[in-house]
Amino acid sequence: MPEMPEGQRFYVISPDNAVVHGFAVQAGAEAAAVAFGEDAHVVDTMAGAYAPSLFRVIDGKMVVDGQGLFDYRLGLETNLVESANRRALPIVLALLKKGADPNGRDAKGRSALN
């Protein structure tokens, strides 16, 4: 099974999707997202298959916005393809920032661009 690269675990995506910042600690990512304001997202790129992986600021608070959207154990490219197919833009942006190859393919040969 592919390994996720070392580095930041949590990524904050601004409400307009223009800014993506990585954080090692969830509390820091959540504070940054709340500072960005409504509809900012936090993506946990090390979330397991059934764990919360996507959070969003609603009414000034972090809430779970997606659970089990991907599984870090499958690797960056497979998760990128899956997230693109589900149209989960905040996750796509986080995985690209983490280093996913936009031309990479999953085990079935699909790319995020297909």
Chain centroid to CA 43: how far?
4
What is the model's pTM?
0.89
pLDDT digits (tens, 9 = 90+) for 50-83: 889 999 999 999 999 987 778 888 899 999 999 9
Nearest by Cα to 92 from 17, 26, 34: 17
CA distance 10 to 20: 10
Q: What confidence category does residue 2 fall into, taking pLDDT thresholds of 50, 70 and 90?
A: very low
Reported as type and span, the H/E element at residue 54 is strand 52-58
